[in-house]
C-alpha cells in the first residue's frame, strides 16, 4: 500500500475523536492527571525540550546514521510540529519492545516512529490523529512457492521485530492454530536479513517499511518474494502521555495542518512514501 488511504483515515479519525470525547466525559484512562509535564502551554519566551523516543532502525520513518545523526519522515514531521508549537524536539533512540514503558515512566515524552495505534497500547498512552496507513506482508526467499495460507500451515520459522505489530500478528496466528515458530529481532532490517540468509523461512513486515526499503536495496528485492498481505489495514499515530493535554492538542492541530498542506505530499515523496 502506498500513501494514505483517505477513506480509512477519515473513519479512524472519527473513531478516535469519538473515543476521546467519551474519555473527556468521564471514561479517562487510568493515570490521566491534570498536572502532566506538558499539560499546559509553556510560558512566554520559553522553548521546552520534548524528548522524542524512536526506533533507531525503522527507515524511512526513523533511522540513526553511522555518523550518529537521526533522520526520517517522522523526524521531519516532529521538527515542523515543534517549530509550530514552540518546543524543541530531542530525538532519542530506544528499544522498541520497551518504548511504551519509557513514555509512561518519563524517559521519553513522545513516541514518533511509525507507532501503530492498537487497543493494547491505548490502555497506556494516548495517540494523535492517525497520519499513515499500511498493511503487513508475508515475505519468503525467491523460489519458495505457495500462498500465504499454505505457507503458514507448513510450520515456518517466521522473523519479526520484537515488540512490533508484526510480532503481535505472529502471536495471533499462532493462537489461531498456525504452527509457526517466531524468531524475534531488534529491528525490521535485521529480521529481513534473517530471511535473506535462510536463518528464517519467512518474515512479517510493515508495507510502510518494506516497500521503500526494497526500492533502496534492489539486491535484496531480487532474492525475496512478497507472498501477499496478511491481517487488516493499520494506522500510525504519535503517542503521548494521557496527562500531557497541551502537547497532544498542539501535535494534533499542527499535524492536521501539515497533512492538509502541499508540504505533506513533498515529505511523502522525499522519503519514498508517496
pLDDT tens digits, 223-264: 999 999 999 999 999 999 999 999 999 999 999 999 999 999
Count Cβ neighbours within 10 Å for each residue of 206-238 and write b for 16 or more, e otherwise: bbbbbbbbbeeeeeebeebbebeebbeebbbbb
Q: What are phi and psi of 142, to 5 degrees?
A: -60, 135
- For the residues 109-117, what does the mean pLDDT come to? 97
Q: What share of the chain in percent tops pLDDT 90? A: 86
Per-domain residue ranges of the chain: 6-133+235-270, 134-233
Instruction: Name residue, grid cell 522473523.
Output: 159
Mean pLDDT estimate for the chain:
89
Q: Superfamily for 6-133+235-270? A: Periplasmic binding protein-like II (3.40.190.10)
- Least Cα distance to 81 among 270, 212, 246 occurs for 246
* Residues linked to residue 62 through DSSP beta bridges, in sequence order: 58
Can you give the pLDDT at residue 36? 87
Q: CA angle at residue 15 from 13 to 17, to 5 degrees?
A: 70
3-class SS of residue 199: coil
Task: Evaluate whether 6-133+235-270 and 134-233 have a shared fold.
Answer: yes
CATH superfamily membership of 134-233:
Periplasmic binding protein-like II (3.40.190.10)
> Does residue 106 carry a pLDDT above 70?
yes
CA distance 71 to 24: 35
**Which position has the higher pLDDT, 149 or 2?**
149
Amino acid at each position: 500500500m502506498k500513501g494514505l488511504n483517505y477513506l480509512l483515515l477519515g473513519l479512524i479519525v472519527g473513531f478516535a475523536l469519538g473515543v476521546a470525547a467519551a474519555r473527556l466525559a468521564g471514561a479517562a484512562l487510568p493515570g490521566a492527571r491534570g498536572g502532566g509535564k506538558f499539560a499546559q502551554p509553556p510560558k512566554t519566551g520559553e522553548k521546552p525540550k520534548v524528548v522524542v523516543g524512536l526506533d533507531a532502525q525503522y527507515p524511512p520513518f526513523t533511522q540513526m546514521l553511522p555518523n550518529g545523526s537521526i533522520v526520517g519522515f517522522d523526524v521531519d514531521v516532529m521538527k515542523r510540529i515543534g517549530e509550530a508549537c514552540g518546543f524543541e524536539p530531542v530525538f532519542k533512540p530506544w528499544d522498541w519492545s520497551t518504548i511504551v514503558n519509557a513514555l509512561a515512566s518519563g524517559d521519553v515524552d513522545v513516541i514518533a516512529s511509525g507507532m501503530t495505534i492498537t487497543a493494547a497500547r491505548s490502555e497506556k498512552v494516548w495517540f494523535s490523529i492517525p497520519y499513515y496507513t499500511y498493511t503487513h506482508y508475508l515475505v519468503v526467499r525467491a523460489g519458495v512457492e505457495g500462498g500465504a495460507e499454505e505457507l503458514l500451515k507448513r510450520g515456518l520459522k517466521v522473523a519479526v521485530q520484537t515488540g512490533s505489530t508484526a510480532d503481535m500478528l505472529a502471536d495471533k496466528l499462532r493462537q489461531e492454530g498456525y504452527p509457526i515458530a517466531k524468531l524475534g529481532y531488534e529491528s525490521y532490517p535485521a529480521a529481513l536479513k534473517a530471511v535473506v540468509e535462510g536463518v528464517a523461512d519467512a518474515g512479517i513486515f510493515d508495507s510502510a517499511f518494506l516497500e521503500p526499503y526494497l526500492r533502496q536495496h534492489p539486491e535484496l528485492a531480487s532474492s525475496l518474494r512478497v507472498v501477499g498481505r496478511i491481517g487488516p489495514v493499520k494506522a500510525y499515530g504519535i503517542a503521548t502521555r494521557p496527562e500531557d493535554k497541551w502537547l497532544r492538542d498542539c501535535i494534533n492541530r499542527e499535524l492536521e495542518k501539515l497533512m492538509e498542506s502541499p508540504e505533506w505530499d513533498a515529505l511523502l515523496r522525499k522519503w519514498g512514501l508517496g
